[in-house]
Amino acid sequence: MNASPTMGKDRQGSMVGKTVVMTGATSGLGAVAAETLARRGAKVVVVARDAARGARTMARLTAANPNVTHRLHLGDLSRLTDMKRVGAEIAEAEPIVHVLANNAGAMFKARQITEDGLERTFATNHMAYLVLTLGLKASLEAAGGARVVNTASAAHRGQRFNPADMQSLKNYSGPFAYGRSKLYNILFTRELARRWAGTGVTVNCFHPGVVATRFGDDSGGWLALLARAVKTFAITPEQGAQTLIYLAASRKVAGITGEYFDRCAVIEARPSARDDAAAAALFTASMKLAGLPD
């Protein structure tokens, strides 16, 4: 895994002629990043659950760059069938994808089980990344230098991969399950970078900071109150989006893969997030849960 000592704050890379697929683009830092990349010339393909918010996002993207046709695909990130369907739809419509930004995330007060039998935080924050990314593999490889950017978090601190309890069955709490899912984002990034070495596709992740967005507002009860209190000290979505934009557009990160970034620089994740045996085990187990060949 590589890091360049010359990396800086170059966020001005042109995106003309490039296609960006993004989840979590209807609000917060994702909306800022999507509109910024559109203004730089990108065609932005948005995956969203809510049709009304998706339509508003399409209007903003068209205003930012009316020279291309941006697209919206509706799907629930917590449902494996939706992510497989959306991945197949995008792959058919977009034979070349230059950037995939897995940015959507959620935190839930109570433990919920999806129709696939998965804990909802695990399904939304981790499995959606894996299923959508693998569904777009051919389109990413066809770009000849594509990038996968995964939104992780410093919330992975204090978390460990436990193969016997991957989905927070024991002693569930919303923040704990969220932090564990962010650990999984980093482990997934490392393992996918290893597996895709030589394909021309780089895979990196980043900590956006504590950002004042809608995140946590719908969690309910004390968790929503806590989220609002924390955001009193948060940075703006514009600030939080900078590393995502940097990883998607900057020439300075071309060829860098498998790394964890903060404020547009490579930093070292916690040891539990640099455990390659855990990364491989998580990937294999997740593929089995998704019904995909490892």
Q: Catalytic amino acids?
A: 178
CB neighbour list of residue 81: distance below 8 Å, 6 or more residues apart: 116
Q: How would you list the strands of the sheet with 71-74, edge to edge? A: 71-74, 43-48, 19-23, 99-102, 147-151, 202-207, 260-262, 265-267
45 in Cβ contact with 73 (< 8 Å): yes
10 by Cβ neighbours in 10 Å (0-12 / 13-18 / 19+) ranks as middle
- Alpha-carbon span 188 to 192, nearest angstrom: 6
CB atoms under 10 Å from CB of 145, counted, come to 12
Q: Sign of dihedral through CA atoms 24, 86, 184, 264?
A: negative
- Alpha-carbon span 32 to 57, nearest angstrom: 10
Query: How does strand 265-267 pair with strand 260-262?
Result: antiparallel
260 in Cβ contact with 267 (< 8 Å): yes
What distance, in Å, lies between the first and last C-alpha atoms of the chain? Answer: 22
